[in-house]
Amino acid sequence: MTETLRLSVNGIQREITAAPETPLLYALRNDLHLKGTRFGCGSGQCGACFVLIDGHAAPACDTPLWAVAGKAITTIEGLGEHTLSRAFVDEQAAQCGFCTSGILISAAALLGRNSKPTETEVRAALDRNLCRCGSHNRMVRAVLRAAQAER
Ligand code: FES
Ligand code: FES
């Protein structure tokens, strides 16, 4: 049965009419046309669909709409001109780019709670994000570069 749910997405109040158990990812991509959040595994295993929920990186594929009502959702589009974006370009930290938005979300969550992470902390923060292209080392360097730029 469908309901009208109110979501805060990238600082804007949105209404979605859907079954409450619908994955957040479907609402973002299909209803709100925010296509930067990717569909990878669909089961919470790859990180491609990560968004920030109240500042924490979480899989939108595995999060029902009822669970995010009243919470602040930030997608890759909502990060805007983040220092991380520049650092990822400078480090050439992507190949196909499919995983990149989820990785940027995990990195933004990390820098939101720890502005001076060590390399070990960056690696731990990105641990849930898979990259089939093997770009992890460059991504770690990019996150460290972004953290340095913000000091
Ligand atoms: S698509 Fe959501 S974690 Fe893989
Ligand atoms: S850059 Fe291709 S999957 Fe990560």
| Arithmetic mean of pLDDT, 144-148 | 96
- Among 45, 44, 47, smallest CA distance to 23 is for 44
For residue 64, what pLDDT band results from cuts at 50, 70 and 90?
very high
How much distance in Å is there from the Cα of 43 to the middle of ligand 1? 5
Ligand index nearest the alpha carbon of residue 101: 2
The pLDDT value recorded for residue 82 is 86
Residue 70 token pair: 């009243």
The pLDDT value recorded for residue 81 is 85
Single residue among 58, 78, 98 that ends a domain in this structure: 78
Whether the Cβ atoms of residue 147 and residue 86 lie closer than 8 Å to each other = no
The pLDDT value recorded for residue 126 is 98
Whether the Cβ atoms of residue 67 and residue 27 lie closer than 8 Å to each other = no
Residues 143 and 85 in one domain: yes
**Closest atom of ligand 2 relative to the 97 alpha carbon:** 1
How much distance in Å is there from the Cα of 38 to the middle of ligand 1? 8
Residues 66 and 110 in one domain: no
Quick check: CB of 139 below 6 Å from ligand 1? no
Residues 91 and 146 in one domain: yes
Residues 74 and 34 in one domain: yes
| Arithmetic mean of pLDDT, 58-78 | 97
Residues 43 and 73 in one domain: yes
Residues contacting 37, CB < 8 A, separation 6+ = 25, 28, 29, 49, 50, 51, 60, 75, 76, 101, 102
For residue range 114-134, what is the model confidence (pLDDT) as tens digits?
A: 999 999 999 999 999 999 999
Whole-number percent of the chain with pLDDT over 90: 95
**Closest atom of ligand 1 relative to the 41 alpha carbon:** 4
Please give the mean pLDDT across all residues of the chain: 96
CATH number at residue 133: 1.10.150.120
For residue range 87-100, what is the model confidence (pLDDT) as tens digits?
A: 999 999 999 999 99
Single residue among 34, 58, 78 that ends a domain in this structure: 78
Residues 16 and 74 in one domain: yes
Full residue range of the structural domain in which residue 141 is found:
81-150
| Arithmetic mean of pLDDT, 27-38 | 98
CATH number at residue 54: 3.10.20.30
Domain count, the chain: 2
